[in-house]
Amino acid sequence: MNGKPATAVDAPVPLAPPPAIAVEDLECRYGDTVVLSGVSFSVREGELFFVIGGSGCGKSTLLRHLIGLKKPARGTVRYSGENFTNDDLAARRNLLKTFGVLYQNAALWSSMTLRENVALPLEQYTTLNRRERDEIVTLKLAQVELAGYEEFFPAELSGGMRKRAGLARALALDPRIVFFDEPSAGLDPVTSRKLDELILQIRESLGTTMVIVSHELASIFTLADRVIMLDHEARGIIAEGRPRELADASDDPRVREFLTRGEEKAYTGASK
Amino acid sequence: MTAVATQARAETIAEGDDLVVTLGGDWRITGPVPAWRTARGDRAPRAVRFRVEGLERWDSSLVLFVFEVQSWCGAKTLCDTTALPDTVRRLVGQLEQAQAKRVPADHSRNFLATVGLAAIDVRRQIREFADFVGECTLSAIGLIKRPGRFRWRDCILEMQQCGAMAVPIVSLSSFLVGLTLAYTGAIILRQFGGDIWVADIVGLSTLREMGAVMTGVVLAGRTGAAFAAQIGNMKANEEIDALETLGIAPVDFLVIPRLVALTLMTPLLAMYANCLGIFGGMVVSATVLEIPPSAYWIETQSNIDLADVSVSLIKSVIFGMLIAVASCLRGLQAERSAAGVGRAATSAVVTSILLLIVADAVFAVLFNVLGL
């Protein structure tokens, strides 16, 4: 070995860091109904990753499995290499605080003010005192352009503001990953675009990995680094890649049809 | 000058073996339209031919009419619709297709299957209730170990809601129950000249039964429904999911503060109800039976003791727990919809009252055995 320490040779080749999220052979069921089967994909650190597909294809189901609201029937979900789907409650709780979730209806706790909403994760997982917590709340609300709304209740805000407040709460613990469930649902196009800008801005400033469940084409094309498309009949992923490339050159007509709103189908139909 | 809409017409003329139907006028689904049965009379033509003459406006009523004629013709009689506007024919075609496509849906179940499913459901519900009680116990133990995590503020707010705010309705109901008991007792006791014993009847039955039970029923209806609706609504709005993904157990956060609040408030309200029940009896005695309040009070005191008070206290603590657990469970089980929240509230009240009555019966036996 020419005098080299044996360990240097025997040591495993340094691997690339594990992906932020690695899903292997996931099967999702509701009772006896298999919604998704054999789903495998991975999301890189800092990636803006979209899960797309038509209504009822299992997007939200996949999300609920990723964030631990449902237990998969089979398969594993790993966050930076750590298994999230095993039964070790302490390990799961440790992982839970590394991600934030923005729900479809923001899901702010309606009996609490925005300050209390954003502060609750901090109370739960940090030892910060009240003044420090308040400072972080102010900062997070300012990041989503809601400075000064600390004492408002969710019911007093508009839909777009509630979404942003939900995002502030999701960002409270500076998570490594943020999940979004249909972020533009129920928002007008302008508000929706502003939310997209906010998402990009946060990714740029914090380097957060983002997983977004959506079927909003405008957002998909402006934000997504990569998408996976789910299909109801295939019960799994039918395409994976950059949205623009999929729209232009996917072999699967279902994918092209979805990404072009079915207009491409009409076009090829006419050309035949 | 505005044109006056003419009434919808369907005139029938026999031409050889054929029947010619001439459609005209203004066909509105909201206005009067001719019926095919009266238009055709009892003729049995070989073919039906449509003609259009002065047809002004038309809507689904004309489509329905043509469809009815076509259905009547069936396969045996020829139905010639070529003279009708294309749109009418297309709509009739659509209607025909839609009728043919109807998917048979059979929701009926036989008697045995229904009974079987109901039995399985009861077993499932009992298991869920037991699981939930276990979960609450574990959570309570966890919170005793780390009292800093207990949400005192929510608990105090709930105490105000289910305790202080319930005082008026508890006052009224328990006072009236005391009053009714006194009247009922007086009917019999008067026959023996034992009017004074009304005090014993009212005192004993209020303390041992009515005070705690009436408070329980009022709280089941008032607070139980509110708990289930609040939690059910939070579930529909994904607020419970948001707690779970933060690693906060909904039981710690939502159920235990409510459970503690109701368990502390029910005995207080029950004691208050007991006092008002006795007061109700005293009012009847003083006004109707002419027993002075002092005599009534002395008689009451002579016949009730600390055991009766403790019976009332023990019962009300357990009633409070049962109502809180049942209502919170119903809230957490609610479907994610407005109707689901409504059903959860109803079911919370029904379950709470049912459990209350069962518990009361168990207590009756238990206290009898213990000689309390």
- A105 and B245 within 8 Å at the Cβ level: the answer is no
Q: Model confidence at B5, in pLDDT bands (50, 70, 90)?
A: low
Name which of A130, A135, A132, A137 is nearest A114 in CA terms.
A137
Cβ atoms of B277 and B202 within 8 Å: the answer is: yes
Which stretch of DSSP H or E encloses residue B235?
helix B225-236
Q: Hey, what are A256's tokens?
A: 């092209």
Classify residue A142: in a domain, yes or no.
yes
CA separation for the pair B372, A144 (Å, rounded) = 64
Residues sharing a CB contact under 8 Å with residue B270, sequence separation 6 or more, in sequence order: B211, B212, B215, B216, B312, B313, B315, B316, B319
Residue linked to tokens 């990404």: A259
Nearest to A96 among B234, B237, B246 (CB): B246
Over residues A84-107, the mean pLDDT reads 85
Q: Model confidence at B104, in pLDDT bands (50, 70, 90)?
A: low
Which stretch of DSSP H or E encloses residue B47?
strand B47-55
Please say if the pLDDT value at position A9 is more than 60: no
The one-letter amino acid at A33? T
Q: Which residues of A touch B154 (CB under 8 A)?
A: 111
- B242 and A93 within 8 Å at the Cβ level: the answer is no
Mean pLDDT of chain B: 91
What pLDDT is recorded for position B340? 92
Instruction: State the total domains in chain A.
Output: 1
- B237 and A105 within 8 Å at the Cβ level: the answer is yes
Classify residue A29: in a domain, yes or no.
no
What pLDDT is recorded for position A8? 47
**B160 in reach of chain A (CB within 8 A):** no
Q: Model confidence at A177, in pLDDT bands (50, 70, 90)?
A: very high
Q: Using the 8-state DSSP alphabet, how is residue A51 labeled?
A: E
Does residue B44 sit in helix, strand or coil? coil
Please say if the pLDDT value at position A86 is more than 80: no
- Exposed/middle/buried for B62, CB within 10 Å: 0-12, 13-18, 19+? buried
pLDDT 10s digits, A128-161: 899 999 999 999 999 888 888 999 999 999 988 9
CA separation for the pair A37, B343 (Å, rounded) = 34
pTM score: 0.76
Classify residue A223: in a domain, yes or no.
no
Nearest to A67 among B233, B239, B245 (CB): B245
Over residues B50-76, the mean pLDDT reads 88
pLDDT 10s digits, B249-288: 899 999 999 999 999 999 999 999 999 999 999 999 999 8
Classify residue A272: in a domain, yes or no.
no
Long-range Cβ contacts of A183-186 (<8 Å, 24+ apart): A183/A102, A183/A212, A183/A214, A183/A219, A184/A214, A184/A216, A184/A219, A185/A104, A186/A104, A186/A105, A186/A159
Does residue A204 sit in helix, strand or coil? helix
Interface predicted TM-score (ipTM) of this complex, two decimals: 0.79
Q: Which residue has the higher pLDDT, B289 or B175?
A: B175
Q: Which domains does chain B have, with CATH numbers?
A: 9-101 (3.30.750), 134-370 (no CATH)
Please say if the pLDDT value at position A269 is more than 60: no
Cβ atoms of B214 and B177 within 8 Å: the answer is: yes
Classify residue A129: in a domain, yes or no.
yes
Classify residue A32: in a domain, yes or no.
no
Please say if the pLDDT value at position B116 is more than 50: yes
Q: Which residues pair with A227 in a beta bridge?
A: A50, A241
CA separation for the pair B13, B52 (Å, rounded) = 13
Classify residue A182: in a domain, yes or no.
no
Cβ atoms of A27 and A58 within 8 Å: the answer is: no
Instruction: Name the CA radius of gyration of chain B, rounded.
Output: 35
Q: Are strands A226-231 and A236-241 parallel, antiparallel or unpaired?
A: antiparallel
Q: Model confidence at A14, in pLDDT bands (50, 70, 90)?
A: low
**B248 in reach of chain A (CB within 8 A):** yes
- A96 and B238 within 8 Å at the Cβ level: the answer is no
Classify residue A164: in a domain, yes or no.
yes
Please say if the pLDDT value at position B325 is more than 90: yes
Q: Model confidence at B197, in pLDDT bands (50, 70, 90)?
A: very high
Sign of the Cα torsion A62, A68, A74, A80 reads: positive
Q: Are strands A226-231 and A82-83 parallel, antiparallel or unpaired?
A: unpaired
CA dihedral A67, A73, A75, A77 (to 10 degrees): 10
Range(s) of the domain holding residue A112: 107-174
